[in-house]
Amino acid sequence: MAGMIGKKIGMTSIFNPNGDLIPVTVIKAEPCKVVAIKTEDKDGYRAVQLGYGTKKEKNINKPMLGYYKKKNLTPSEKLKEFTGFDTEEMKVGDEVKVEIFKEGERIKVKGRSIGKGFQGVIKRHGFSGVGGTTHGQSNRLRAPGSIGQSSYPSRVFKGHRMGGRTGFDNVTVSNLLVAKVVPEENLIMIKGAVPGSVNSIVELIKN
């Protein structure tokens, strides 16, 4: 579907037309340049490749630098393909602006969740622990408990929920309401929370 790339700025609150105070996530959706146009004849599908932000030439590898120079474009911070655009009316170098979204419509937002590092089973999987400190047990309150059997099968089955790195996953949230669009500042305000930390890149996709 059609969409664009933005950067999560943070959260605030605004009043809706009914006078209700609602929490919103503010996303800076600067104009995204059309870097490439995929066609069915050449690529087998129709899509538009958009670039967000800018990147210094010293921080990009030579193949990608040549890719941009061939199109007379400055390197982008993030590249992403979107379907749903009318590719026949677009050309390389055009800009997709935040006006493609309208207040009151529902959109889908993709982002990378906040990384929390190595976490135990209580925080990672919602385990309840082993209960009180009765019967002489100590330092077992947040332990996972038994993870296997005895001499048979003499191993731990795959897929057990155990401690490990938590967060930093690709997350998609659907049906988020566009509360407000501020075209002159390239801002879009979305009701509720959006995955990712402040200053992280998110994808805004029309339903």
DSSP 125: H
The Cα–Cα gap between 18 and 35 comes to 41
Whole-number pLDDT of residue 133: 65
Percent of the chain with pLDDT over 70: 98
Which string of b and e fits 116-143 if b means at least 16 CB within 10 Å? eeeebbeebeebeeeeeeeeeeeeeeee
The Cα–Cα gap between 189 and 103 comes to 9
Question: How far lies 3's CA from each of 6, 16, 51, 107, in Å?
Answer: 10, 24, 12, 9
Q: What are phi and psi of 73, to 5 degrees?
A: -125, 155
Pick the CATH number of 1-30+98-128+163-207 from 3.40.50.2300, 1.20.210.10, 2.30.30.90, 2.40.30.10: 2.40.30.10
Question: How far lies 53's CA from each of 4, 88, 117, in Å?
Answer: 12, 25, 28
> What does the pLDDT look like over 116-166, one tens digit per residue?
999 999 999 999 887 666 677 778 888 898 899 989 999 999 999 999 999
What token pair was written down for 190? 């979305």
> What does the pLDDT look like over 90-113, one tens digit per residue?
899 999 999 999 999 999 999 999
Whole-number pLDDT of residue 22: 96
Domain 1-30+98-128+163-207 and domain 32-96 have a common topology: no
Whole-number pLDDT of residue 64: 94
> Do 186 and 96 meet the contact criterion of CB atoms below 8 Å apart?
no
Pick the CATH number of 32-96 from 3.90.1300.10, 3.40.50.12160, 3.30.160.810, 2.60.120.380: 3.30.160.810
Whole-number pLDDT of residue 87: 83
Q: What are phi and psi of 183, to 5 degrees?
A: -60, -35
Percent of the chain with pLDDT over 90: 81
> What does the pLDDT look like over 166-186, one tens digit per residue?
999 999 999 999 999 999 999
Please provide the average confidence, as pLDDT, over all residues in the chain: 93
State mean pLDDT over 45-53.
Answer: 94
State mean pLDDT over 67-75.
Answer: 93
Whole-number pLDDT of residue 138: 79
- Segments making up each domain of the chain, as ranges: 1-30+98-128+163-207, 32-96
Whole-number pLDDT of residue 137: 76
